[in-house]
Structure 1
Amino acid sequence: MASLGAALFMTLSPVHAADVGQPLPVASVPGADGAPVTLYDGKAKLTYIDFWASWCGPCRESFPWMNQMQAKYGAQGLRIVAVNLDARRDDALAFLKEVPAKVTLAFDPKGGSAQRVGVRAMPSSVLLGPDGRVLMQHAGFRAEDEAALEARIAAALKAP
């Protein structure tokens, strides 16, 4: 499975990368029930979009952190969307049984959203402001990243 992930990212090229200051080049991705999940809904003050896969070790570490951030900042306007890129949804569902998600889930088995955003590592995240423009991109996830990512979210939520 890891080789599939490596092949996926070697063949992806950022067609319309999500550059800071620009609108996200993806509008929606199918949700758990098949209905579209709008990535920028115009209601949240901030939207944190995380691209992940079941074979990704750091993704296992990022989910508890995302759940914590959603619980801590959701009432202040943070919305988190986790976009799964597994080719087989069963792989994602098995992962989610072990590592539950308390965030909005979306599934993109063909990886088109990741390609348009310019994802090159797993997990990768994009933070959108209230206008839907990219405030930040982040590749990977380590425990050392948590404080800086949370500080960026907290500061953006305080901004007018």
Structure 2
Amino acid sequence: MKLRALLLGILLTSPVATYGAGGNSVVTVNPPIPAPDWTLPAIQNAKGNLSMSDFRGKITYVDFWASWCGPCRLSLPALNALNSQFADDPVQFLAISIDVVEEDAWDFLKRYSVDYPVVIDTEGDIARTFAVDGMPSGYLLDGQGRVREIHIGFKRGDELKLAESIKRLLSDLVTSEVDET
């Protein structure tokens, strides 16, 4: 619950939040906050359970979505295109459905399929831990698993801003690797 309180505080008081038309916003988290670890069942593009710790060492975009979310019809295909764009980089996209009924998520994914792993949080526990405050909500994590940006909502063009953020983190990742040698 401590992380939830921190994230809520950032969302409510952050002077660095930028708001776009349509109610979408991007919040820079500075200093970065460690993302919570979790384990959820995979429903597409992976088998068994996945955990947040499975993606450490990669820049990860954790996208919370739901079948009833209108903007998710735009965001999932846009994120899938970014997944292809960064396929050769240490970047991982991950979708977390918050649908209560798994079949609703599967029906949605038949229409708006993605090539990256999808897990489901039918109880909403992980969404609450992340203080999800709108659909879709995305969390950009650095290679150490720390939340660097929070994206709430989605409109066309948001994927371009996200791509720039990912490129900055990739640059930081390369710089830190060079510094270690």
The higher radius of gyration belongs to: 2
Look up the match of 2:40.
29
More displaced, 50-59 or 137-146? 137-146
Among 131, 138, 142, the residue aligned to 2:151: 138
2:79 maps to 1:69: no
Look up the match of 1:118.
131
Aligned residues: 147
Secondary structure of 1:110's aligned partner: coil
Q: Structure 1 residue 30: deviation in Å?
A: 1.7
Structure 1 unpaired stretches of 5+? 1-13
List aligned pairs for 1:65-104, cutoff 5 A.
65-104=78-117
Q: Which runs of 4+ in 1 moved over 4 A?
A: none
Q: Structure 1 residue 42: deviation in Å?
A: 4.7
Look up the match of 1:9.
none
- Which residue identity is paired with 1:99? Y
Q: Structure 1 residue 31: deviation in Å?
A: 1.2
Q: How many percent of aligned residue pairs carry the same amino acid? A: 33
Is the contact made by 1:44 and 1:78 (CA closer than 8 Å) also made in structure 2?
no
List aligned pairs for 1:1-80, cutoff 5 A.
16-17=3-4, 19=7, 20=29, 21-32=32-43, 35-80=48-93
Aligned-pair Cα RMSD in Å: 1.8
1:25 and 1:64 map into 2 onto residues whose CA distance is 26
More displaced, 138-147 or 128-137? 138-147
Look up the match of 2:19.
none
Return the TM-score normalized by structure 2: 0.75
1:135 and 1:101 map into 2 onto residues whose CA distance is 24
Look up the match of 1:155.
168
Secondary structure of 1:148's aligned partner: helix
When residues 74 and 39 of structure 1 are mapped into structure 2, their CA distance, relative to the original with a 3 A threshold, is: farther
Structure 2 unpaired stretches of 5+? 8-28, 176-181
Q: Structure 1 residue 93: deviation in Å?
A: 0.5
What do the CA deviations read for 1:64-115 (whole angstroms, capped 9, x no partner)? 1111111111211110110000010110000011111111110011110000
- Which residue identity is paired with 1:38? S
Secondary structure of 1:67's aligned partner: helix
